[in-house]
Amino acid sequence: MDQLRSRTDVDLSVDLAGIQMQNPLTTASGTSGYGPELSSYVDLSRLGAFTTKSITVEPREGNPAPRIVETRAGVINSIGLANVGLEKFLAEKLPSAAKLGVPILVNVAGKTIDEYLTVASALDRVEEIAGLEINISCPNVAAGGLEFGTNCTMASELIRTLRGAVKRAKLIVKLSPNVTDICEVARAAVEAGADALSLINTLRGMAINVEAKRPVLPRGFGGLSGPAVHPVAVYCVWRVYREVAKPAGVPIIGLGGVQLWQDAMELMLAGATAVAIGTALFIDPQCPIKILDGMTDYCRRHGVRRIADLIGTVAPPTAT
């Protein structure tokens, strides 16, 4: 089996707002639990970073089953931020993740600013945590999350409050595509103090059981991920990079439907510094290895010694 750190003729390292990653790949929040769930299938220490599932102040059971429905080109999930809560995460889950030897990014969620603040402040005191991915874009809960991600004023207030409290860990704001203009929310987050941006979270989607004439998911809808959303992710990263991130010097984690190395390269060429892999891990937990090998081969074929040199280098459109 090829190793992610092989083929050292190409420098795969990237700098994500001061977080040094040995390569651009990380996991997408919610697709690999707290680490051990996936460790039996792939060596997570070979990634550039590891991103945990969402953490809230109190434990959450999540939404009632069924929580996932397959589509022709992905899945719709309605997990509902199920997690063990802050206290148990710190005591029982983080120690195993910290042993991976790569930067740990923790996804932070809440219903109110105070809840976000409680979680972020506690995590900021833990040296093993490199970054906090602030989830203002989850479509699967009744309150919080997406409310912040679709309102520039609310997003700005939340990030500004967190910026005042978080002194060590990097603030990475995860953006929703379920908005009229994602650049407006990205700009609000950056101006409020975000160190990096993560995009995109899932698109709202719905599946109906036509025989029963009722929604498949108990909540009616959920978040669509997988290959179907990839072109949307590429477009959003391209726009946010050009209009917000590049002028501000803020890096992007690109995610959405990454299954092949070509998908990851699209996001980097569009402007992403790092790339998160999500739904594809359910199908093939070894896909990060294959993706990184493909990215390395691409760099070699194009005479590129540092993969970071490719960030945002896609040619401009030829028509206006």
Distance CA 287, CA 257 (A): 13
C-alpha separations of 291 from 4, 37, 229, 285 in Å: 9, 21, 18, 11
- Across the strands, what pairs with 54? 107
Residue for token pair 């750190």: 5
Q: How far is CA 19 from the centre of its chain?
A: 15
Bridge partners of 19, per DSSP, are: 16
Stretch (H or E) spanning 291:
helix 287-301
Nearest residue to 174 via CA among 75, 108, 116, 79: 108
SS (H, E, C) 98-146: HCCCCCEEEEECCCCHHHHHHHHHHHHCCCCEEEEEEECCCCCCCCCCH
Catalytic residue status for 183:
no
- Identify the sign of the CA torsion 213, 215, 218, 220: negative
Alpha carbon 170 to its chain's center: 14
Classified as helix, coil or strand, 243 is: helix
Beta-carbon count within 10 A of 225 CB: 29
Catalytic residue among 138, 152, 236, 299: 138
| Six token digits for residue 309 | 């040199």
User: What gap in Å lies between CA 33 and CA 28, rounded to an integer?
Assistant: 10
**What's the residue count for the chain?**
320
Active site residues: 138
